[in-house]
Amino acid sequence: MADGVAVSKQGINAGAQAVAAVVVVGGLLGGAWALGETGQGSSDRRPAACSNTEDEDLPAGYLSGGQLCAALNRPDLPVLLGTPEESALTATGGVSWSTPVGGEKIATPVARIQLKTYHVKLSASHDRVPVTGVAGLLGGTAQKTTVLGRPAVLGSERTLSLSVGGGKAWTGSGGIARYVLVAKDARDSGGCFEVVIWRADGGLPDDAALLRTAERVLPTVPGWAG
């Protein structure tokens, strides 16, 4: 359902569909985490270990969700987010699949980490769409910028909230997620990394926290230097 919502919002370009989908899917999962569906309490100060759900059909040469989770699940992540007293409650890596209209299935490796205040997602697209070409398709909030010497786009997307009660579940409009898309190389020859943060309380995320996280995490992702 989440993928369908995302496609309807950005139904022009396959690259734009993939970008929107990860934000909306992240919002759905964020809503479930906020409701405590993970069953892990914030009183446990030990960082969570990565739990990986890899897909055997991941194309050769793609980064895995486990590799992204290892890069994102760093000990100083709470400090980068401006919440040094917190620690990771859950950490997962896996693969999200989408199918553009008339196209083939697209694999997007993704890692997600939940803290008490923030939820963070790191994903990698392996398409040939340049970041600068996507900027105009992401709406008025998208702004071109530079991160670590590479073309980037900074923007917002509203998440979906997930409510559960009385044996029923329903979705609604959630808070704001802030994202940054960073080209895989300085030439912006195609593909990008995306870092997304959103708050459990629905408040506006801190852009400084988002950019700090991207600038420290991305250079540790396998293949970044190349």
Query: What is the tally of structural domains in the chain?
Result: 1
Please report whether residue 184 resides in a domain. Answer: yes
Please report whether residue 55 resides in a domain. Answer: yes
Please report whether residue 226 resides in a domain. Answer: no
Please report whether residue 26 resides in a domain. Answer: yes
Domain that holds residue 200: 2-220
- The pLDDT value recorded for residue 42 is 36
Q: How far apart are CA 226 and CA 206, in angstroms?
A: 30
Please report whether residue 60 resides in a domain. Answer: yes
Is residue 175 a contact partner of residue 158, using CB atoms and an 8 Å limit? yes
Q: What is the pLDDT along the chain (226 residues), one digit of tens a residue?
A: 233 222 223 322 333 333 333 333 333 233 333 333 333 333 345 568 998 776 667 888 889 999 999 999 999 999 999 999 999 999 999 998 877 777 778 889 999 999 999 999 999 998 888 998 888 788 777 999 999 999 999 999 888 766 566 666 656 667 899 999 999 999 999 999 999 999 999 899 999 999 999 999 999 999 898 6
- The pLDDT value recorded for residue 159 is 81
Please report whether residue 225 resides in a domain. Answer: no
Provide long-range contacts, Cβ within 8 A and 24+ apart, for 208-212: 208/82, 209/80, 209/81, 209/82, 209/118, 210/154, 210/178, 210/179, 210/180, 211/147, 211/154, 211/180, 212/80, 212/81
